Structure 1
């Protein structure tokens, strides 16, 4: 066994936390204007983008803390696929050309999280543990 393998479980959980929080920040910027550059406000968006922002806020927090992880990751992955094809792929299908790299990366990361599951360090696992009855 590789000596780095022992870090796989904690690193996956840290990765899930960071990715989830970054996704939350993306949605919070859209909806509330948090973390936005000066002069930029949130909340004045078309309904589809507001829906996306809500998915990013809720999904980001659920993924970060590992609660309903698979469902949240599946929905978030789908949202990023829709975002790429509706917003970015109009001019070119190449993410580097159409500035859709982040949407593609999020889409595949969330799909990986959907397939892998919440990981050992998650609320999903903590809530599933039951105490034996005497």
Structure 2
């Protein structure tokens, strides 16, 4: 079996799973679902900097990456937010992610950077839009009508 054949299946599945997992973090923090913020069962109060905004990014970007819509910009934003979380929250506690509890943000940051580099791939709204644009016929050029002569 060739690896490009597997890539057509595994890449979209990878993107969907990563997007779903990231969106679940946002659901937990914004709405108290799935155990709530940090397992407390409670949501983060609206507008609390930076946690509430990070949760909003997690939910929105996770859903966009999952369905493959605006995948590259969503993945860049998600990657940046996780890099921020790592360097501001975790890295001051220790140099290595295993020491400072920052394994999850580090993995998400790199994963979303890879998704941004490779794009949505097949089975995505981005692919559907681009394939429809490619199939759309070019409009015929307009020909100017002759002006009637005045007598």
Corresponding position: 1:41 with 2:42: yes
Determine which structure has greater relative contact order: mean sequence separation of CA pairs < 8 Å that are 6+ residues apart, divided by chain length. 1
What displacement does 1:7 show?
A: 1.1
Q: TM-score, normalised by structure 1?
A: 0.91
RMSD: 1.7
What displacement does 1:39 show?
A: 4.9
Unaligned runs of 5+ in 1: none
Distance 2:86 2:58 in 1: 15
Residues 127, 5 of structure 1: CA spacing in aligned structure 2 closer, same or farther, 3 A cutoff?
A: closer
What is the match of residue 65 of structure 1?
Answer: 67
Tell me the alpha carbon deviations over residues 85-125 of structure 1, each in whole angstroms, 9 at most, x when there is no partner: 11111110210011100100000000000000111221001
Tell me the alpha carbon deviations over residues 25-82 of structure 1, each in whole angstroms, 9 at most, x when there is no partner: 0111111111016752013272211100000000000000100000000000000000
What is the match of residue 14 of structure 1?
Answer: 13
Aligned pairs for 1:68-107 within 5 A: 68-107=70-109
Distance 1:73 1:3 in 2: 28
Distance 1:14 1:25 in 2: 16
Which structure: larger Rg?
2
Aligned length: 133
Unaligned runs of 5+ in 2: 139-151
Corresponding position: 1:31 with 2:30: yes
